[in-house]
Amino acid sequence: MERTPLGFLLVAFGGFVGAVARHGVAVAVGDATGAGTLLANVLGSFALGVLLTRAARRRTRLFVGTGALSSFTTYSTFVADAVTLGTTAGAAYVAASYAAGFAAAAAGLFIGKRL
For 84-104, how does the pLDDT look when each residue is reduced to its tens digit (9 = 90+)?
A: 999 999 999 999 999 999 999
Number of domains the chain contains? 1
C-alpha span between 29 and 35 (Å, rounded): 7
**Domain membership of residue 105 as a residue range:** 5-114
Closest by Cα among 54, 65, 69, 46 to 7: 65
DSSP 65: I
Instruction: List pLDDT tens digits, range 18-71.
Output: 999 999 998 999 766 788 999 999 999 999 999 999 999 999 999 999 999 999
pLDDT for 106? 97
Amino acid code (one letter) for 61: R
